[in-house]
Amino acid sequence: MLLAAAMMAGVLAMGGPVKGQVAFEFRVNFAPPELPVYEQPICPGDGYIWTPGYWAWDDQDGDYYWVPGTWVLAPEPGYLWTPGYWGWNDSAYVFYPGYWGPVVGFYGGINYGFGYFGHGYEGGRWDGGHFYYNRAVNRIDERQIRNVYNTPVQYRNENRVSFNGGRGGIEARPSQQEEAAARERHMGPVAAQQQHINAARGDRSLRASENHGRPPVAATPRAGSFSGGGVEAARSGGNYNPPANRGGNAGGNARTDRPPSARNDNGGNRPTYTHPNEVPKHDRPQPPTSSGNPKADQKYQQQQEKMYQKQNQEHQKLQQKQDQEHQRAAQKQANDAQKQQMEQRHQQQTQQMEQRHTQQQQQNQRQAPQPKQQPPHGGGEPHH
């Protein structure tokens, strides 16, 4: 079962970001709700890894929303999921996204349950290219999945606090092994997880202001599937009520902005991404402001959409290429120096692609149709 949170910030965190941690996404000046209690759906098949639910942030609405826990196929054998977490940092709560890697890193000491009890993962292990499930903490149908074992786990800290540091937060710091994991080769959420997050963001019933910390869809057997058999509702949750001045479209003065390291500006704190799937997805182009020329506006919108589709395809192709190189390196048992050289090359490829995409977007914006100048009305002598 799942396990938390207090409201509002107060003192400086005991935790903080891990060296090498993926750049955080948002800064919010009030705490996320406590984690709801829910049942885990039965594992749908061999090779699926449990990814626990968490509270994400929508900066447009100024509201937390629940991303249901779900089973996700590991991107490659040997990879485990490090959950994301909220942490108190410099007068605000910031979110550090989760990632896939050969070792589970620091996730704030948060007790997400189902094997993620604050440090490491006790829900299963890889052996000979197969994932073996600990049935003591997972719901497994042993008629379908034979790779199981039973190791009872003692719950060390049964609370539902959903953030690290600050007033009422978890006071946990990363171990040396967890710090090292953040510096190892890893990749961000796979495509199925991104779709899962997007679907959760678009579901109004998952907004904390709507469900008051008790989401109707707390966990799903497969990513993106929010209805049907196996979907679990929260059994309980906190009596959460967001502050009235929480920012976003809700109004008010709460600080709910992207930090400089996550903005598309030319600041020196821009995050460094190694792989395309770690890069925040480009926003889909919005219809341009009317210029008074419908044909020109339509043509410009089509150009924007074409660029958006092409850039997404380039992301996917480069990610596929890098994934194939990772697989070949694993097959050839590449040494640490060779792996490091490969990661440096991947980082350079990803950064060059993003720079090119930014330049294309800027150039496209400069080509936007301009509103027609209206002739002045009155105030002058007519021309003959």
How is 71-127 classified by DSSP, letter by letter? EEE-SSTT-EEE--EEEE-SSSEEEE--EEESS----TT---BTTBSSSS--SEEEE
Sign of CA dihedral 280, 284, 289, 295: positive
pLDDT at residue number 70: 97
Other beta carbons within 10 Å of 16: 18
pLDDT at residue number 349: 87
- What is the reported pTM? 0.63
Are 254 and 91 spatial neighbours (Cβ–Cβ below 8 Å)?
no
> DSSP states of 295-348 as a string?
HHHHHHHHHHHHHHHHHHHHHHHHHHHHHHHHHHHHHTT--HHHHHHHHHHHHH
Structure tokens at 316: 């996917």
pLDDT at residue number 301: 86
Domain boundaries, the chain: 1-271, 276-366
CA distance 186 to 166: 28
CA angle 264, 268, 272 (to 5 degrees): 70
Helix (H) or strand (E) holding 193: helix 191-201
Q: Could you tell me which residues are beta bridge partners of residue 163?
A: 86
Report, as ranges of residue numbers, the positions in the chain whose pLDDT lies below 70: 1-26, 155-158, 238, 244-272, 281-283, 286, 288, 336, 371-384
Pairing of strands 69-73, 48-51: antiparallel
Residue with tokens 């550090």: 96
pLDDT at residue number 94: 92
pLDDT at residue number 60: 83
CA distance 133 to 151: 10
pLDDT at residue number 19: 45
CA distance 273 to 283: 18
Q: HSE on the CB side for 284, CA within 13 Å?
A: 2
Of the candidates 25, 71, 349, 326, the one whose C-alpha atom is nearest the C-alpha of residue 184 is: 326
pLDDT at residue number 9: 28
pLDDT at residue number 153: 85
pLDDT at residue number 53: 97
CA distance 304 to 19: 38
